[in-house]
Chain A
Amino acid sequence: MDSPRRRRPLRLQTRWTLRHGAALLIAVTVFGLYAYGRIARRMEQDAQLLLELQVNQVLADLDRHGADPSALTAAVQARAVAADPGLKLGIAVFTPDGRPRAAEGSLAKRSVPIPAEVLRGADPQVFGAAHLGGKYGWRVVTQRSPAGIAQVAVYARSFERNVQYVGRIFLVAIPAVIVLSGLAGWWLARTSLRPIAEIAATARRISGANLDERVPRSGTGDELDRLAATLNDTFARLQHSLERTRGFAGDAAHELRTPLAALRSQIEVTLEKERTHDEYRSALAGVSGEVERMALSVQAMLRLARSEAGLDPARRVDVPLATLLAEVAGFFEPVAEDHGVILRVGPLPDATVPGDPEWLHQLFANLLHNAIRYTPAGGVVSLDGEARADEVAVHVRDTGPGIPPEEQDRVFERFHRGGTRPDRPGTGLGLPIAREIARAHGGAIELASEPGRGATFTVRLPRSPG
């Protein structure tokens, strides 16, 4: 059913096996030819060595017994008899001008002509091959000395047989090695690719509906395990973001439902019967106010959605944080004053942060506004911070009622409103937006608070390099 999709890993497997086999074939063949060549050469050298040894002894006999033909014959005969019978040693002795004087062994029945170079005296020693009967070849050496010319022949059976034997071994062994290692390669490719096939199959199964499934991990820490881990991270992020989106859509709809319901009843009740001009006017004014609040909510929701989507790197500039914080504090100074809250601006970090100034304004404005709103008259809100090695920390402290530990995580949730204070209406999105902006800049917001002892929000942002 899914053969077209399964074909790809199989093709990869075949390709790996074939490549592996071809590489092996070339390597083993080259090795075989080289080894065979070396062995054959070595055997040839051994034969030559043997011939050289024998011919020199025969020439020594010739020196010693050259004047006595019977002694020479006896010496040559003795030498032929003493040799290994398997070599079928043949010896022939000639006068310096090439007339035969004695012949023994295999050269007694058949003769090998003296090479012209030796006869002419151009070359004192010539090796050659001959055929003196039998399945295998013969090796012959003809060598000249002042006393005459000696010729020795041996049957090359043992040498040639060894070479042939090695050749046969290679002819059988090389294809066997190739077939076996091809199978091994195929098996190896299959086992290496199986996790990939499994990863692919899982990835295919994972969709919006079951993003909680994960690719199986081998736990070995190898490349495939790391690939699986990377994919799992990606799935986790996707799942997280999808859940957030779903949650956000639900929350947003719910959030707008309440004012919509109020609006609807306000309008419907007004339309139910005739009203005076002033009643219509006041109803419409109420509707207008409600719509304005909804517009503010929607604006905040959009801002949150945008900050969750992340910051466009193209919009990042180096923002001098002290200037920006002073500006934000300046904006809220009169607000704090009206609340009867003292806004104290302490030392500000002398550093720049790569980011979007609009967003950073929003981040600190939200934190300051939040702190001022929740601090009772007579309290103090302070803004300060410091630049560290590679980051900047900004603290917004208040002397408000503090946030109980169980609520500390929830203050960053959408539409969570601290306590139930209808006198402090807000969108319930200020802190979530602040946190998303900090995240979009690669930073974070931490909250430290004890009930009754105020709260401190600390924003940490990466500094501009250099």
Chain B
Amino acid sequence: MTERGAMKVLYVEDDPVAREYIQKGLRENGFRVDVAEDGERGLALAQAGGYDLLLLDVNLPARDGFELLQRLRESGVRTPALFLSARGDVSDRVRGLDLGADDYLAKPFAFAELLARMRAVVRRHAGDAAPARYSVAGLELDVRRHSVHRDGQLVELTPKEFQLLEYLMRHAGHVVSRTMITEKVWGHGFETYSNLIDVHMNHLRRKIDRDYETKLLHTVKGVGYVLDDRSAAGASAPAEEDGAERG
């Protein structure tokens, strides 16, 4: 996926300060960004097409984000969409996802969190079906057999740790935030405790990394985690950590 430099995003937001800084942040991270201040203009731009991703505020003048997406889906445009909203209630989230949004991020969010989620949405749309086996460096995970090996040695994991590792390996090389992990592995009931994800990560790290020279599970400060073989000097990983250090 050529996400750097090529990914084109439409950002619909009525708050000028948020618009300016998010736009700036996205551009600095290699996205091409168009902005719209209200739902009417946002819909027109989105219908014209050509975007890889839509970032939609919910409370918008002229036409709210929910309505915008509904119209867009009705007219057959399937561009992936991510809602940004101060309305973080479960029912709003459910409504947004029901309308065909790919993710829903409550304000205020960390910028790195937004980046991680945007990339995850685009990856999901690129259509890589979940494989039955994952492999990163010497770490292998077999979904069907429910087994994990590191350098050929069996690693015993609890069911939750297995789910956690599977999620990280599916997004190997890409940062996933603590709240993304909480949502996907534990569900929304635990969102308040996403800061405790570190505890679970440390336990997982002890099992898959502690006794091995090459560390695979890396903390991205202020955001979350990435599973990655850094000794192989992947192109994207250092850049992501670089971005995170600011936070």
Contact = CB atoms under 8 A, between A and B. Distances in A.
A169 interface: no
Interface in A279-305: 281, 285, 288, 291-292, 295-296, 298-300, 302-303
A303 to B, nearest CB: 7
Q: How large is the interface on A (under 10, 10 to 19, 20 to 34, 35 or more residues)?
A: 20 to 34
Given A330-B160, A357-B189, A358-B188, A288 B247 contact: yes
B200 A365 contact: no
A361 B89 contact: no
B203 A285 contact: no
Contacts of A288: 222, 247
A369 interface: yes
A299 B88 contact: yes
B210 to A, nearest CB: 15
Nearest to A330: B160
Interface stretch (A171-179, A255-263, A331-339): A331-339
A298 B203 CA distance: 30
Interface in B170-216: 186-190, 192-193, 195-196, 199-200, 202-203
B202 A338 contact: yes
A285 B247 contact: yes
Given A291-B108, A306-B89, A358-B90, A334 B199 contact: yes
Interface string A129-142: 00000000000000
Interface in A424-454: none
Contact of A361 (B91, B106, B190, B246): B190
Contacts of B199: 334-335, 338
A122 to B, nearest CB: 98
Interface string B99-142: 00000001010100000000000000000000000000000000
**Secondary structure dominating the interface of B:** helix
A331 B192 contact: no
Contacts of A337: 203
A292 B192 contact: no
A337 B199 CA distance: 9
A335 B160 CA distance: 14
B189 A365 contact: yes
A76 to B, nearest CB: 111
A358 B108 contact: no
A369 B158 CA distance: 21
A334 B158 CA distance: 11
Nearest to A312: B91
Contact of B193 (A302, A315, A327, A365): A365
Contact of A365 (B90, B190, B222, B246): B190
A433 B222 CA distance: 27
A56 interface: no
B224 to A, nearest CB: 13
B193 A331 contact: yes
Contacts of A14: none
Contact of A369 (B193, B203, B222, B247): B193
B192 A365 contact: yes
Contacts of A312: 91
Nearest to B195: A296
Interface string A337-361: 1100000000000000000011011
A296 B188 CA distance: 15
A371 to B, nearest CB: 14
A366 B90 CA distance: 18
Nearest to B110: A292
Nearest to B203: A334
Contacts of A335: 196, 199
A248 to B, nearest CB: 17
Nearest to A302: B88
B110 A299 contact: no
Nearest to A360: B189
Contact of A362 (B192, B200, B222, B246): B192
Contacts of A298: 108
Nearest to A363: B189
A313 to B, nearest CB: 13
Given A296-B192, A334-B200, 8 more contacts: A331-B193, A331-B196, A334-B202, A335-B199, A337-B203, A361-B190, A365-B189, A366-B192
Interface of B: 88-91, 106, 108, 110, 158, 160, 186-190, 192-193, 195-196, 199-200, 202-203, 222, 246-247
20 contacts: A285-B247, A291-B108, A299-B106, A302-B88, A303-B192, A306-B89, A312-B91, A330-B158, A330-B160, A331-B193, A331-B196, A332-B196, A334-B200, A338-B199, A357-B189, A358-B90, A361-B187, A361-B189, A365-B190, A366-B192
Minimum-distance CB pairs A-B, first 6: A361-B189, A334-B203, A358-B189, A295-B108, A334-B199, A335-B199
